[in-house]
Amino acid sequence: MLNHPRQPRRALNAVLLGAAALVIGVAIGASAREPVDAALESDRPWTRFLAEAFPEGLDPDRSLDPPNIREPGPDTANYPNGPNTLPRGGVYLEWSPVFFTGAMTGIQPQTYSAEFLLRLGLTDRFEFRLYSSGFTWQAAGLGAGATTGFSPLIFDTKIHLWEENEDWFIPATGIEAFVQTPWGSPAFDSCTQPGIMMLFRNTLFWGLVAEYNVGVADDTTQEGFVPVDVVQWAITKEITDDFQVFVHGFQNQSALPRLVAQTVVGGGFVWFPSDRLSVYGNWGAGTDKSGPATTFQLGFANAF
């Protein structure tokens, strides 16, 4: 995250990290219920290893399906993260070689980065993720010269809690906990910063799908460690089996440390050339003085 260094408050760090450990433990402990697991017969050694290491009682046949980028789909195509996780043994690599952010008044000059998100399905409910804004260039401004380096690594986990119940309008639900580390170029080090989010998805009328996240993260626009509520959302419409469009936005900042602002809205698309590859792009603009003048992203996601 591109901002000024600060010192985190240990007590809040401990609470958020403890909550992350609790939900991870519950998910792994609840997974050992099914004595017969079809994933043990998978032709992928990695899937067989995970089936033995993490017995999973949720739809074990799902681990035998071939890799598919359409389900659960890329998370970095828009602002919110979906509540569904990869199947055990599934691997996604999401990479955005173009991520441009216009200047944010009094907060951050314009930047360019090449972000990535590596996702690993450890059980059918539990996903481990490694994220970074990657190679980053920041223009001169706010009393500093132009800077180039590598943004901090972020360790992230996502847990799928339950599927959607359309009859009762109960959303598909998950929970995500992440920790930004100080491991990156010194110029972009903003200390250890945790966050925790609830993830939801509802099927709406006219074939629309709503994804929305709410949670708590560090307010990166202020000095010191200041928790702030975060809300981000997207409404998606499938135009064809291979092409989707969406509008999206967030309040305060994006959940994964990508953008800091007050309110940003925009739109974009996701295209699936095959079951293993997706191409996506989006743009956004701030609606207040502290938001970026514009953002632009172009990325790819592969399922392995």
What string of pLDDT tens digits covers the 304 residues of the chain? 444 444 445 555 555 555 555 555 554 454 434 446 677 888 888 888 877 776 655 565 777 788 999 999 999 999 999 999 999 899 999 999 999 988 876 677 889 999 999 999 998 889 999 999 999 998 887 777 889 999 999 999 999 988 898 888 889 999 999 998 989 888 887 778 889 999 999 999 999 999 999 999 876 655 666 788 899 999 999 999 999 999 999 988 887 878 776 789 999 999 999 999 999 999 998 887 766 678 999 999 999 9
List, in sequence order, every residue forming a beta bridge with 198; answer none if it has no partner: 175, 214
Q: How far apart are alpha carbons 226 and 190 in whole angstroms?
A: 13
pTM of the model: 0.81
State the residue for tokens 């409404």: 235
Q: How far apart are alpha carbons 109 and 138 in whole angstroms?
A: 7
The CATH number of the domain holding residue 15 is 2.40.160.40
Look up the domain containing 177 and give its range: 10-68+84-303
Domain-located, residue 2: no
Domains in the chain: how many in total? 1
Domain-located, residue 265: yes
Kindly report the number of other CB atoms within 10 A of residue 52's CB atom. 11
Domain-located, residue 25: yes
Domain-located, residue 97: yes
Give the pLDDT score at 21. 55
Give the pLDDT score at 14. 56
Q: Exposed e or buried b for every residue in 59-89, given b needs 16+ CB within 10 A?
A: ebebbbeebbbbebbbbbbbbbbbbbbbbbb
Domain-located, residue 167: yes
Domain-located, residue 60: yes
Domain-located, residue 1: no
Residue 235's identity, in one-letter code, is: I
Give the pLDDT score at 206. 92
Domain-located, residue 5: no
